[in-house]
Amino acid sequence: MIEKIVIGFVGLPGAGKTVALESVLDLGEIATLGNVVRQEADSRNLLHTDENLGLIGKELRKEFGEDIVARRLVEIVKAIPTKVIFIDGLRSMFEVEIFRNYWKFPIIAFVVDDKLRHERLMERGREDDSLNIDDLKERDNREIKYGLLDVIENANYKINNDGTIEELQKKTRTIVELVINDLSSSL
């Protein structure tokens, strides 16, 4: 089996994780915790609305433990034949610990001013995005209750995303290349 380099990406909704990941797609594959919840929604024949996904995530964690989404994703990551995997959408230190049971798992956190983050969320128009500020704040609070701020606080690297897309992607690529080089030398 190939030794993997698995790197976590974390940030509040709209902090720039998806845009940042675009800058490193040639270096590895992305595995998304949210896709585990979306797959569960599909199995229940539910639409991918913010409300449905939030409820499913909460139900899964209540029934199977706070780390269930990460445990399911570990099996998916193990099956990916690529050496470098980026984990998108961490929500709690429970999830971080699951990944650290298998890999070194450094974490890159994306932080941005709340006003700018909310503006970007309202512009991007993904199907599970809310379109008003109250819904955005409710989603933020749900994510924070999972422990998202603890993961951000304990990240190995932090990238401020108050600038341009180009700046974000340059910073991300620089850090990811550094992490891959460091971890490759220790494998």
Backbone angles phi, psi at 155, to 5 degrees: -65, 150
Within a domain: 104: yes
Within a domain: 20: yes
Span 109-137, average pLDDT: 74
37-70 burial, b at 16+ Cβ within 10 Å, e below that, comes to bbebbeeeeeeeebebbbebbeebbeeeebbbbb
Q: What's the mean pLDDT when you consider all of the chain? A: 89
What percent of the chain lies above the pLDDT cut of 90?
65
Q: Domain of 32: which CATH number?
A: 3.40.50.300
pTM score, whole prediction: 0.86
Reference 119, options 131, 110, 111, 103; nearest CA is 131
Q: Structural domain of residue 168, as residue ranges?
A: 5-182
β-pair type (5-10, 107-111): parallel
Residue 98 pLDDT > 80, yes or no?
Answer: yes
Indicate the number of domains in the chain.
1
89 or 168: which leads in pLDDT: 168
Backbone angles phi, psi at 24, to 5 degrees: -125, 15
The confidence score (pLDDT) of residue 126 equals 56
Largest Cα–Cα distance in the chain?
47
Residue 95 pLDDT > 90, yes or no?
Answer: yes
β-pair type (84-88, 5-10): parallel
Neighbours of 131 (CB within 10 A): 10
pLDDT digits (tens, 9 = 90+) for 128-140: 445 667 777 777 7
- Cβ neighbors of 171 (< 8 A, separation 6 or more) are 159
91 or 128: which leads in pLDDT: 91
Within a domain: 165: yes
pLDDT digits (tens, 9 = 90+) for 28-56: 999 998 889 999 999 999 998 878 888 89
